[in-house]
Amino acid sequence: MTLEEILAQFKDGQLDIDAAATAVRASLTQDLGHTVIDHDRERRTGAQEVIFGEGKTATQISDIVAAMLEHGSNVLVTRLDQDKHVALTNLPTGASYHAQSRTLVCMQTPKPKPATPIAVVTAGTSDIGVAEEAALTAEFFGNEVERIYDVGVAGLHRLLGRLEDLRRARVLVVVAGMEGALPSVVGGLVDKPVIAVPTSIGYGAAFDGVAALLGMLTSCASGVSVVNIDNGFGAGFLANSINRL
Amino acid sequence: MTLEEILAQFKDGQLDIDAAATAVRASLTQDLGHTVIDHDRERRTGAQEVIFGEGKTATQISDIVAAMLEHGSNVLVTRLDQDKHVALTNLPTGASYHAQSRTLVCMQTPKPKPATPIAVVTAGTSDIGVAEEAALTAEFFGNEVERIYDVGVAGLHRLLGRLEDLRRARVLVVVAGMEGALPSVVGGLVDKPVIAVPTSIGYGAAFDGVAALLGMLTSCASGVSVVNIDNGFGAGFLANSINRL
Amino acid sequence: MTLEEILAQFKDGQLDIDAAATAVRASLTQDLGHTVIDHDRERRTGAQEVIFGEGKTATQISDIVAAMLEHGSNVLVTRLDQDKHVALTNLPTGASYHAQSRTLVCMQTPKPKPATPIAVVTAGTSDIGVAEEAALTAEFFGNEVERIYDVGVAGLHRLLGRLEDLRRARVLVVVAGMEGALPSVVGGLVDKPVIAVPTSIGYGAAFDGVAALLGMLTSCASGVSVVNIDNGFGAGFLANSINRL
Amino acid sequence: MTLEEILAQFKDGQLDIDAAATAVRASLTQDLGHTVIDHDRERRTGAQEVIFGEGKTATQISDIVAAMLEHGSNVLVTRLDQDKHVALTNLPTGASYHAQSRTLVCMQTPKPKPATPIAVVTAGTSDIGVAEEAALTAEFFGNEVERIYDVGVAGLHRLLGRLEDLRRARVLVVVAGMEGALPSVVGGLVDKPVIAVPTSIGYGAAFDGVAALLGMLTSCASGVSVVNIDNGFGAGFLANSINRL
Amino acid sequence: MTLEEILAQFKDGQLDIDAAATAVRASLTQDLGHTVIDHDRERRTGAQEVIFGEGKTATQISDIVAAMLEHGSNVLVTRLDQDKHVALTNLPTGASYHAQSRTLVCMQTPKPKPATPIAVVTAGTSDIGVAEEAALTAEFFGNEVERIYDVGVAGLHRLLGRLEDLRRARVLVVVAGMEGALPSVVGGLVDKPVIAVPTSIGYGAAFDGVAALLGMLTSCASGVSVVNIDNGFGAGFLANSINRL
Amino acid sequence: MTLEEILAQFKDGQLDIDAAATAVRASLTQDLGHTVIDHDRERRTGAQEVIFGEGKTATQISDIVAAMLEHGSNVLVTRLDQDKHVALTNLPTGASYHAQSRTLVCMQTPKPKPATPIAVVTAGTSDIGVAEEAALTAEFFGNEVERIYDVGVAGLHRLLGRLEDLRRARVLVVVAGMEGALPSVVGGLVDKPVIAVPTSIGYGAAFDGVAALLGMLTSCASGVSVVNIDNGFGAGFLANSINRL
Amino acid sequence: MTLEEILAQFKDGQLDIDAAATAVRASLTQDLGHTVIDHDRERRTGAQEVIFGEGKTATQISDIVAAMLEHGSNVLVTRLDQDKHVALTNLPTGASYHAQSRTLVCMQTPKPKPATPIAVVTAGTSDIGVAEEAALTAEFFGNEVERIYDVGVAGLHRLLGRLEDLRRARVLVVVAGMEGALPSVVGGLVDKPVIAVPTSIGYGAAFDGVAALLGMLTSCASGVSVVNIDNGFGAGFLANSINRL
Amino acid sequence: MTLEEILAQFKDGQLDIDAAATAVRASLTQDLGHTVIDHDRERRTGAQEVIFGEGKTATQISDIVAAMLEHGSNVLVTRLDQDKHVALTNLPTGASYHAQSRTLVCMQTPKPKPATPIAVVTAGTSDIGVAEEAALTAEFFGNEVERIYDVGVAGLHRLLGRLEDLRRARVLVVVAGMEGALPSVVGGLVDKPVIAVPTSIGYGAAFDGVAALLGMLTSCASGVSVVNIDNGFGAGFLANSINRL
């Protein structure tokens, strides 16, 4: 039951005050013992609860997925390792798993699609895993995504050859490891918000993404903001949030 | 002359090809020896060149300000220390200097104002300098700004008391030092993009803003992205860029 | 023999001076070659010796457990990996092993229980392993523990819904990874000591718990102190120490 | 007016509903523009608002002090530099300033004193500034403080000579810079909670207190928790909070 | 006397063996007590001794300059603060001091000039001090230098407009602070060695040049190597060494 | 087809304008979906595209190798793990794999060889893997390489015994882990450019190559520049680039 | 042949000048291709070459061991993993392998023993692996070693109970992980040199031995110096070097 | 009175038991309120108390100096800034202040001198301040010191020219900033203990001595141990302690 239905039943006398209070609480958050699902999040913050798979057991994830499907929600699980995915036996047909980005999507209700695309751009081939997490997240929330991959700054002509695609997007997610210079260059070429995602691609002084993170934070281009290393989900989520304004 | 005027004169034969080429180049970038002003930036990236005052001499700043005023641009100088401000003798009447945020503004042409406000929020009193840099930048680009100051998480009722103001904004800039927890809490309360600005306020393990920076990057709330420590300008710039979408 | 018994026997002449000296030494510390057990610790510091399982071989742990059981002590082993636990063949019936928190408990003598509970609170589901180490430690020393799990700051209503439970505790252990903001918020809501435990949950700029650690150290709330990353034992120990005052 | 007085007047009809609402709000928080004073903090968290002097202008501090005195509160200002102290012209007679610890105290209403003392211990002479911040804070909240200074571990007999004083305290604040080993040793000698305060005393690999901080966090003694580098205030506050249990 | 002259005199009997040995030693190194001048370095490593001014007293620098001038060498002093420069009263006419890069040059014997130029490129105006140290060093060793300043990646057209100049150089010194992306982009445009110099320009997460340093070390462009932060001298020295091959 | 052939065919009418445009684009870059191969790189930057094997799947590498062989290029794959190498079934006869340095080479067209050798020097036995990556890269681009291994500074006579070999090289690659002192000593003995490569060899405070990296960046010898930790490829590439000047 | 024998044979004419030169070189260093053995090290630095097993293949180690045994040297291999040890098939009878410290010893010629013992002290049980590396190294070079294990500062009486043993040693190696406080306390109790060895024992803010390292470097006790994290070999080597003075 | 005198007087009845106890305590430690002087340290640890001047006020230092002179001790004050030195008005004639190393020495009783010298070696001119702190400390404790300055590894012949002096010393203190390579090279040339002192000389990636510190800790030479950055005193103290064995 939604909150509105509960309140109506309470007014009609179908529910007494104790039953109504219990129902209201359950409609907002659901306590699974290990996890408190926030069913009210979409109303409050504009986007529903998403399951972060890392650090949870397959059993815990399975419980949460079941509860959310039961509640009628769409389900997005990020950072879901292959072996945990295999252990999830309660998935509906239609659930799709994307191995490289470790992302699971079960759509029950499609979302209305904004008219403008989101661009997801990578510096290299190895950044695609993180980029796909961003792209799939943005698509989960109903957006059209333009993928522009392997256009790093060491071969500028590759990037300049896609300038038109870059400029058509309403918001850009730019994913890069190593020195992370791509968002600075893209930021100087477009007039739209750029969400920079450092990746842990690289070795040595790349320090698992720290070099790229620092480079993006200190970018000489304006209009660039940064999310955590490898946080494709966060970038896709924010891109949706901006695209829907 | 604008690019359009030059091309018209060239077509009319008022300019020969060499003079036209020189004029075109000058209308796009202007080389002062120490600095190459990018007069074309607004057309290309949606916002004009802004002067970063730190690390430049007063003489260099003075040259750039003069060239931009001459070119008809509005002027925003950030991180302009009091003593350099005093040394700028060529400022027009109407120029205003904000000491706490070290910001100088000279408006020649007002910008059209978006209908929706930007909220600038701080955790503490000491964060106001950075917050004002963000607020003045957003105002420079024509936005209405709602200031919500000193509402840090150690006294939640202060924040919850301003919930309506928070939710009215189309985009929020949230400024905090020390542990930088405020954007996480705000991000859980609104459905709009949150731009988090860590400040260098704090001591010891605050490490000049690193604690706040890390906290914001790893925020458990979605829809939050981060700019550099103390980068009020970057946050205000990006907030404008989002607000104009 | 306890120290008192030895001294009595020495006075009675049952022990000569050399035997008494040897017995006194043995009653205080016991040297196993690799390990010197501190049997006197409880009298001196208020709590008995506990076995830190990490970095010790199963054989060494087995030796220490045997010596402590022999001496009549209760036994708590922390950070005991599953495979080492399996290798411990000398455990008494009644010994219980908690896999998620890698904790082993063998109670021979129950401890008197303080009247007031200790609250153990987590931000997320993934923090439960560390939280259980704290809770089991506090229970080992005889305390009642109230578990309040998955109430992180991105959904404040979950936390505020447990406010009464939070306020009933005499001391609170608050466990959080990622940005570690929860102790700041809890510290602003209660008038009791808060022991903050950063966890290594998170990725990228979480830096294996450093982001949470710094956030907790620089908390804007007062009355908060911090233990090492993932140190559930230390927090539970200290909570007991405070609860018994 | 306290909240109780306002409600009484409202019930008596002395205040209408609007005036009462305004008065209630003002009795809880007071907005000075730059700062929102949390007059309700003592009721909620057991201790009143304290002013953190660093990063605030003398004018801001002066405003806050005036508002708190007006409200009948005692006033404690920490990290108040000498020159800002001199600039505060609105202090009542009886206000006392402690230069080495940069602490200002104005008592209007003495607090009831717990029966048990708090010990404040330092490793060296140079740690006394931070230790005094802790001691003065504890005294501000009404505690008796036993000072045990310059008893660092390189000369154990100095420490062992004060063992009785250490053991008499109900809670101990142990302040040390450089390698910060003192809390580990003290923690092994007493059965009470130890609050460790790393200081920025030292040079080279002391890294402004980081060596001491890490040493204290990884202490091999149990019952030790840690506050921020140089955070004498936090330690004194927490010691009071524990001592009043 | 040069080594050759000494040996000739020894063969002729003008010097006995002890005098010759002493003279040989003095012709190679000269011990001033505080400093051992390496007069043989040019023969051995291809470039003469240069004076690093930082951390030396004006008196020490004065001694070394005098000894080198006496020995017939050219003199280059780097990182020579204005006040130390003023204190050097023994400079020959013709000595020139460049304040922004803190560099002093006294030429006694001009060096033969290679046919090809060295390019010195900066991302911003604030990087010019370091760039000039590189340029003056390269010129000191006899090279022609092409200066290309303020062509950072946020406005690519500025850089692309100087492509011909970039490609004419035989070796390029690229100087950048903040995210340090410029060498990556330049490295992708030319087929010559690029020496990247990170500068300490920037704030916050620039960490005094660390962000730029890491970015340059992890550059996705090949043919790029890196020198220390702000080490304009090292870059100019190496550029000369490569240009003379 | 090369660009020249395409243009000739277009002029001859063998290709219409659309076919020509498509062919031109394909001759410059080739988009494999996951990767955009830069066939024009050699003309533009003096050296052809090389495949960085780490972070790419065997399938992706196989695709790129096939496309490059098809295009007539030589192929160099670095950081190619043994198991990925085994998975590459499309390698031509003559392809050679070097396991210790994880390098694969397929030569279709030998490169002209410069007259002067490149020296590759290591401090220890464990640095040879990285050194071989540098040596094989330099040989791939056609250079003669002199290997001088295990001549670290703790036994200077080993190094001094190879002085002649060191001085014969036109450019030196010096590879060292632990404290990374070797490039400083070599830099003081030769008059040629030294490319220093820190390795991740060592433990504890070696911090996976950071100690060596910092040591090389702050070398007291001039003429030394540095590449990323373990970046043998980058050093070999740059050495070729310098050797061909 | 030793150097002396070669020279004698050369003088006697048994060797011509070329054969002698070759023999001299071989007697000093021996080049195995991957490794240059320094047979002259003992004469020059007082102690012979030792084999660092980490980062070398079993084959390389086997080669070096064979060459050293052939040359008549004793053999010490440190950081030799169990599986590499098993792969060494050319070990003489009498070779002994110590698994916990990963140390292999083959004595061919015993060393004369100094009259005074070296103490090796540990804070905890988990530090014994590193301590044994130190102890076995010291014994390899002929010293008597007194082991004093598990006497960390959280139970001072354990340490004070061994005071006599501590004071009898001529030099002390003190091994500790976590906060590394033990050398400070020991340094204050004895009048002999203390060599502190930080270990990587601990978790969280222990940062793999960094906390202990910093604590030891900033020790408030004098007469303490430090070696690398887990460097038991270095400590044992230095202790021998001091003990033989 | 010394302890022996007190005990004699007590036996003779000149002191009663209370007076004797008080006198015994005073002869061992003396409490100045801010500082507890450890008069017994020399007997216990072989060297007397030394005053660390940094972080103490001139008044505190003055008190301690007076008490130590009164007690008949020699006085050594390290890290005593020029202005504090000027403020010390109670110095005896014969006190000598060394400005560059900020060291004050007042000898009342000369110490017996060991037969063997200590060598103090620096890499550069700028390291002399720290080196002199070491040298003066060693001399304060009665040793002969051989100074060998400015012999860094970039000019090996300077170092090799002093080989005889290096080998004559019984223990060597080697002081270096920047990459700190000198102790590795010296350690390979001598058979005596080497105490390495990193200095904060350098810039950029020298990180105030961290590069040198890490380089020394990971030295490939054996027999090298390390003290804190700029800790000349610690090195001189330890050198004395070793030299007196």
By Cβ distance, the residue of A124, A211, A221 closest to E154 is A221
Mean pLDDT computed over F98-121: 91
What are the b/e assignments for B101-121, b being 16+ CB within 10 Å? bbbbbbbeeebeebeebbbbb
Answer for the pair A186, A160: CB distance below 8 angstroms, yes or no: no
Tokens of C89: 């063949």
Q: Looking at per-residue confidence, does C47 or A240 come out higher?
A: A240
Tokens of B44: 């290309």
User: With 80 as the cut, is the pLDDT of residue F24 above it?
Assistant: no
By Cβ distance, the residue of D156, D188, D215 closest to G215 is D215
Mean pLDDT computed over B93-106: 93
| Partners of C146 in beta bridges | C119
Band (pLDDT 50/70/90 cuts) for residue F14 is: confident
Backbone angles phi, psi at F51, to 5 degrees: -95, 120
By Cβ distance, the residue of G25, G60, G229 closest to F204 is G229
User: With 80 as the cut, is the pLDDT of residue D24 above it?
Assistant: no
The string of pLDDT tens digits covering residues D169-225 is 999 999 999 999 999 999 989 989 999 999 999 999 999 999 999 999 999 888 999
Residue A171 to residue E83: CA distance in whole angstroms = 52
Residues of C in contact with B198 (CB under 8 A): none
Residue H181 to residue H186: CA distance in whole angstroms = 9
| F60 CB-near residues (< 8 Å, 6+ apart) | A125, F32, F34, F35
Q: Helix (H, G, I), strand (E, B), or coil: what is residue H45?
A: helix
How close is the nearest chain E Cα to the Cα of H205, in Å?
6
Q: What is the pTM of this model?
A: 0.93
Residue A123 to residue A111: CA distance in whole angstroms = 30
* Residues making up chain B, counted from first to last: 245
Mean pLDDT computed over A139-151: 95
Band (pLDDT 50/70/90 cuts) for residue A22 is: confident
Residue A219 to residue E206: CA distance in whole angstroms = 9
Residue C118 to residue C235: CA distance in whole angstroms = 11
Tell me how far CA of residue E175 lies from CA of D57, D126, E116, E138, E180, in angstroms.
39, 43, 20, 14, 8
The string of pLDDT tens digits covering residues F201-223 is 999 999 999 999 999 999 988 89
Q: Helix (H, G, I), strand (E, B), or coil: what is residue E116?
A: coil
Residue F91 to residue F109: CA distance in whole angstroms = 16
By Cβ distance, the residue of B28, B34, B79 closest to E150 is B34
Residue G138 to residue G148: CA distance in whole angstroms = 15
SS (H, E, C) chain G: CCHHHHHHHHHCCCCCHHHHHHHHHHHHEEECCCCEEECCHHHHHCCCCCEECCCCCHHHHHHHHHHHHHCCCCEEEECCCHHHHHHCCCCCCCCEEECCCCEEEECCCCCCCCCCCEEEEECCHHHHHHHHHHHHHHHHCCCCEEEECCCCHHHHHHHHCCHHHHHHCCEEEEEECCCCCHHHHHHCCCCCCEEEEECCCCCHHHHHHHHHHHHHHCCCCCCEEECCCCCHHHHHHHHHHHHCC
Answer for the pair D200, D229: CB distance below 8 angstroms, yes or no: yes
Average pLDDT, chain A: 90
Answer for the pair C135, C236: CB distance below 8 angstroms, yes or no: yes
Q: Which pLDDT score, from 0 to 100, does residue A127 have?
A: 95
Residue F196 to residue H166: CA distance in whole angstroms = 29
Q: How far is CA G235 from the centre of its chain?
A: 6
How close is the nearest chain D Cα to the Cα of C211, in Å?
14
The string of pLDDT tens digits covering residues H142-200 is 999 999 999 999 888 889 889 999 999 999 999 999 999 999 999 989 989 999 999 99
Answer for the pair G120, G134: CB distance below 8 angstroms, yes or no: yes
Partner-chain contact G220 D189, CB within 8 Å? no
Q: Put residue B160 in one of left, alpha, beta given phi > 0 → left and psi -120 to 50 → alpha.
A: alpha
Q: Which pLDDT score, from 0 to 100, does residue B33 have?
A: 81
User: With 70 as the cut, is the pLDDT of residue D1 above it?
Assistant: no
First to last CA, chain A: 29
Q: Which pLDDT score, from 0 to 100, does residue D44 have?
A: 73
Mean pLDDT computed over G221-240: 95
| Partners of D224 in beta bridges | D194
By Cβ distance, the residue of H124, H128, H204 closest to E209 is H204
Tokens of H103: 């060291």
Q: Could you state, in order of their start, the residue ranges of all structural domains in chain H?
A: 1-31, 40-106, 118-243
**Residue G97, number of CB atoms within 10 A of its CB:** 17
User: With 80 as the cut, is the pLDDT of residue A23 above it?
Assistant: no
Partner-chain contact F195 E225, CB within 8 Å? yes
Tokens of B64: 């750039």
The string of pLDDT tens digits covering residues H192-210 is 999 999 999 999 999 999 9
Residue C135 to residue C237: CA distance in whole angstroms = 9
**Residue E72, number of CB atoms within 10 A of its CB:** 10
**Residue A191, number of CB atoms within 10 A of its CB:** 16
Tell me how far CA of residue C128 lies from CA of C100, C120, C132, in angstroms.
8, 10, 6
| Partners of G51 in beta bridges | G77
Tell me how far CA of residue D124 lies from CA of D144, E98, F61, in angstroms.
22, 47, 62
Share of chain A above pLDDT 90, in %: 64
Q: Which pLDDT score, from 0 to 100, does residue B1 have?
A: 66
Residues of F in contact with G28 (CB under 8 A): 157
User: With 70 as the cut, is the pLDDT of residue C1 above it?
Assistant: no
Q: Which pLDDT score, from 0 to 100, does residue H25 have?
A: 66
Partner-chain contact D185 G189, CB within 8 Å? no
The CA-based diameter of chain H, rounded to the nearest angstrom, is 70
Residues of F in contact with H225 (CB under 8 A): none
Burial class of residue A87 in the structure, from the number of CB atoms within 10 Å of its CB (0-12 exposed, 13-18 middle, 19+ buried): middle
Band (pLDDT 50/70/90 cuts) for residue C71 is: confident
Q: Which of G103, G166, G169, G171 is nearest to G140 (CA)?
A: G103
Minimum Cα–Cα distance from C244: chain D residue:
D192
Chains that touch D (3 or more CB pairs under 8 A): B, C, G, H
Share of chain G above pLDDT 90, in %: 65
Residue A85 to residue A77: CA distance in whole angstroms = 10
Minimum Cα–Cα distance from G36: chain F residue:
F150
Q: Which pLDDT score, from 0 to 100, does residue G208 have?
A: 96
The string of pLDDT tens digits covering residues A79-126 is 999 999 999 988 998 899 999 999 999 998 888 888 899 999 999 999
| Partners of G196 in beta bridges | G174, G226
Rg value, chain A, Cα: 20
Q: Helix (H, G, I), strand (E, B), or coil: what is residue B61?
A: helix
Partner-chain contact C125 A229, CB within 8 Å? no
Tokens of A185: 């260059």
Residues of G in contact with C213 (CB under 8 A): 204-205
Answer for the pair G177, G201: CB distance below 8 angstroms, yes or no: yes
The string of pLDDT tens digits covering residues B156-175 is 888 988 999 999 999 999 99
Tokens 């091994």 belong to residue: G175
Residue F60 to residue F64: CA distance in whole angstroms = 6
Suggest the residue from D191, D214, D219 to mutate for an interface test with chain G (most G CBs closer than 10 A).
D214
Residue E69 to residue E39: CA distance in whole angstroms = 11
Question: E strands within chain A?
Answer: 29-31, 36-38, 51-52, 75-78, 96-98, 103-106, 118-122, 145-148, 171-176, 194-198, 224-226
Partner-chain contact C215 B220, CB within 8 Å? no
Minimum Cα–Cα distance from G198: chain F residue:
F204
Residues of D in contact with B155 (CB under 8 A): 29, 36, 38, 41
Walking along chain H (245 residues) 10 residues at a time, the average pLDDT comes out as: 74 81 73 85 79 92 93 93 93 91 92 89 95 96 95 87 92 96 93 96 96 95 94 96 93
Tell me how far CA of residue H177 lies from CA of C241, E5, H13, H147, in angstroms.
47, 37, 60, 17
Residue B221 to residue C179: CA distance in whole angstroms = 10
Band (pLDDT 50/70/90 cuts) for residue F230 is: very high
Tokens of E55: 């951390």
- G and B: touch, per 3+ CB pairs < 8 A? no
Q: Which of C154, B218, C230, C173 is nearest to A36 (CA)?
A: C154
Answer for the pair B96, B76: CB distance below 8 angstroms, yes or no: no
Regions of chain E where pLDDT drops below 70: 1-3, 21, 25-26
Give A118-243's CATH code, choosing from 3.20.20.70, 3.40.50.880, 3.30.460.80, 3.40.50.1970. 3.40.50.1970
Average pLDDT, chain B: 90
Q: Which pLDDT score, from 0 to 100, does residue F120 have?
A: 98
Q: Put residue H126 in one of left, alpha, beta given phi > 0 → left and psi -120 to 50 → alpha.
A: alpha
Q: Which pLDDT score, from 0 to 100, does residue A25 have?
A: 66
Minimum Cα–Cα distance from B217: chain C residue:
C205
Query: Taking an 8 Å Cβ-Cβ cutoff, which residues of chain H contact chain E?
Result: 124-126, 128, 149-151, 155, 157-158, 161, 201, 203-206
Answer for the pair D48, D42: CB distance below 8 angstroms, yes or no: yes
Residue A93 to residue A81: CA distance in whole angstroms = 19
Tokens 């500790």 belong to residue: G176
The string of pLDDT tens digits covering residues G51-79 is 999 989 999 999 999 999 988 899 999 99
Q: Which pLDDT score, from 0 to 100, does residue G74 have?
A: 92
The string of pLDDT tens digits covering residues F62-91 is 999 999 998 889 999 999 999 999 999 889
Average pLDDT, chain G: 90
Residue A163 to residue A159: CA distance in whole angstroms = 7
Q: Which of G93, G87, G102 is nearest to G136 (CA)?
A: G102
The string of pLDDT tens digits covering residues D146-162 is 999 999 998 888 898 89
Answer for the pair E34, H125: CB distance below 8 angstroms, yes or no: yes
Q: Which of G101, G107, G118, G100 is nearest to G75 (CA)?
A: G107
Q: Looking at per-residue confidence, does D233 or H21 come out higher?
A: D233
User: With 70 as the cut, is the pLDDT of residue D231 above it?
Assistant: yes
User: With 90 as the cut, is the pLDDT of residue D114 above it?
Assistant: no
